[in-house]
Amino acid sequence: MNYLLHVVVLVGLYTCLAASLDLLVGQTGILSLAHAAFYGFGAYTSAILSVRLGVPFVYGVVAGMAVAALLSFVVSLPSLRVHDDYFVLATFAFQMISFNILNNWTALTRGPLGIAGIPVPVIFGWSIRSRFGFVALTALFAVFACVVVARITAGPFGRVLRAIREDEVFAQALGKNTLRFKVVAFAVSAALAASAGSLYAHYITYIDPKSFTVMESILVISMVIIGGAGSRWGPPIGAAVLVTLPEALRFIGLPDPVAANLRQIFYGTLLIIMMMFRPRGLAGRYAFKE
């Protein structure tokens, strides 16, 4: 039962990550390889604040989101002006150096040793210690992320994003400052990823840079794609599929490293297959047509 609840928590966490990435990929049509970096910034901000300074959980989450949003401007402002390919590259580079910083700035992050002893979250005097508690908390975070994305998507803001997705020149000719929209969407997506990071940090109580590499970014991208980009059910479905199916591999009794490789091969292959045969994914609305 504990194990099952753990899987549910993971699904909730990744729903948060996938929904926030879908705002970029599915709604705006821009790809970011830096999602794991913002996930990591949220985790590390929360961890450092709570372990070193005793900052309560909620403030740590907000701080993490603010840090991520601010750092997102470093990538988005120079690169979103130029060319979509360049933006992907810039996010890739940003992801690589974020890992570099987390791994090398040992004074702040303790580098590869990671940060341990992250306290359990305390919200309004309630400590969340049990699995059930975390399931509830994760559900809250996941729902929050989905609602934020849905609110943005359903209204005028989302209309402009979809216009940008299909034809940015058209959106500009209608008087929209497309750069502003893309930068804001990117910042929101980064902030939500960071909130998932904070949750992760307080759940596992230990974090190290290895959880926040570009491979993690690609995993979240796969969830968005496989679940289906541009729809509100795509991200949760993608998260559920890519978390639970590989977990089933454990029960076949493969040695751990081999299982880890096979999991990644699984979603890598699925990604390729989806692109070939069903670009709009399982439940998506956006098929990345030219």
Partner 1 sequence: MEILRCENLRKTFNGSQALTGLSLELPTSGITAIIGPNGAGKTTLLNILTGFIQPDDGRCFFGCREITRLPPHRIVRLGVGRTFQDLRLTLQVSVLENVLVACPNQRGERLLPALLRVGVAADDVRNQAEAIRLLRFVGLEQKGEELAGELSYGQQKLLTLVCCLATGAQILLLDEPVAGIHPEMAARLLDLLRELRDTGKLVVFVEHDIASVRQVADSVIVMDQGNVIAQGPPSEILDRPEIIEAYLA
Partner 2 sequence: MILPQAVLNGVIEGCTYVQLALSFVLIYRTTRFFHLAHAAAYTVGAYLFYGLVGAWKVPLLLAVPLAIAGAGALGCAMELAVYRPLRNRRASSLVLLLASLGLYVVLQNLVSLFFGDNTRTLREGTVREGMLILGARITGSQVANVCAALSFVVGVWWLLRYTRLGRTVRAVSTDPELAVVRGIPVESAILLVFSVGSALAGASAILMAYDVDLTPTMGFQPFLMGVVAAIIGGIDSIPGALFGGLFLGLALNLATLFLPTQWQDTIAFGVLILFLLFRPQGFLGTSLRRVTV
Contacts with partner 1 by CB under 8 A lie at 148, 151-152, 155-157, 159-160, 162-163, 166-167, 169-178, 181, 184, 188, 286, 289
89 binds, among partner 1, partner 2, none (CB under 5 to 8 A by kind): partner 2
Distance of CA 169 to the CA centre of its chain: 28
Closer by beta carbon to partner 1, 83 or else 151: 151
d(CA 39, CA 102): 12
Closer by beta carbon to partner 2, 15 or else 79: 79
Q: Please, what is the end-to-end C-alpha distance for the chain in angstroms?
A: 46
159 binds, among partner 2, partner 1, none (CB under 5 to 8 A by kind): partner 1
Which two structure tokens, joined as six digits, stand for 189? 């997506």
SS3 1: coil
In sequence order, the 6+-apart residues with CB closer than 8 A to the CB of 70 are none
With binding defined as CB under 8 A, does residue 122 bind partner 2? no
Closer by beta carbon to partner 2, 186 or else 203: 186
Give the residue, chosen from 222, 239, 241, 284, that forms a contact with partner 2 under the rule CB under 8 A: 222
With binding defined as CB under 8 A, does residue 74 bind partner 2? yes
Instruction: Tell me if 44 sits within 8 A of 174, measured CB to CB.
Output: no
For residue 104, CA distances in Å to 44, 108, 110, 204 come to 14, 9, 8, 22
With binding defined as CB under 8 A, does residue 207 bind partner 2? no
Which two structure tokens, joined as six digits, stand for 29? 């049509």
Nearest Cα residue to 139 out of 231, 283, 239: 239
**H-helix or E-strand containing 134?**
helix 131-154
For residue 218, the minimal CB distance to partner 2 (Å) is 5
Nearest Cα residue to 111 out of 102, 100, 120: 102
For residue 89, the minimal CB distance to partner 2 (Å) is 6
For residue 90, the minimal CB distance to partner 1 (Å) is 20
Binding segment for partner 2 among 4-12, 93-101, 130-138, 243-251 (CB under 8 A)? Answer: 93-101
Give the binding site for partner 2 (CB under 8 A).
29, 31, 74, 78-79, 81-86, 88-90, 92-94, 96-97, 100-101, 104, 168-169, 214-215, 218, 221-222, 225, 257-258, 261-262, 264-265, 267-272, 275-276, 279, 288-290
